[in-house]
Amino acid sequence: MILIMEKINKVLTFAAVMAALANILSAPPLAIPIFFGPFESAIHFSQLPIFISGILAGPAAGMLTDFVGDLYMSFTKIPFIVISLAILGYTTAFFSRKFNPFFSGVLA
């Protein structure tokens, strides 16, 4: 029982660190702006910690990383992005069990 609790604590700690990193990487100064004529968009790197967490710690950690990690972007830009990126974290972990970790990020 103690070994199970230690593993859960390690996974939760890893997910919390990755969520903090995802939250930091979703801030506007760290985004690369892209302009398509009159349209403006940006490339942000907040998905990288979600991929890493899903691949290394499993589906639950990938989803937890997203729910906590994209709070800034959810409040400032797109409210429903948390749900779509939670699915991204889960599918990355799911595909990493069957395929190469690099291809699991591409497939997700």
Mean pLDDT, rounded, for 92-97 = 82
pLDDT at 108: 67
Higher pLDDT: 3 or 17? It is 17
Domains held by the chain: number:
1
63, 68, 78: which is closest to 23 by C-alpha? 68
2: in domain: no
3: in domain: no
Write out the residue range of the structural domain in which residue 64 sits. Answer: 45-108
83: in domain: yes
- What are the residues facing 39 on neighbouring strands? 36
Mean pLDDT, rounded, for 3-15 = 85
9: in domain: no
Residue 62: how many other CB atoms lie within 10 Å:
32
CA–CA gap between residue 60 and residue 53 (Å, rounded): 9
CA–CA gap between residue 68 and residue 90 (Å, rounded): 14
pLDDT at 84: 79
* pTM of the model as a whole: 0.77
Residue 24: how many other CB atoms lie within 10 Å:
14
pLDDT at 26 over 80: no
Report long-range pairs for 24-30 (Cβ below 8 Å, ≥24 apart).
25/49, 26/69, 26/70, 26/72, 26/73, 27/72
pLDDT at 36: 86
pLDDT at 82: 77
106: in domain: yes
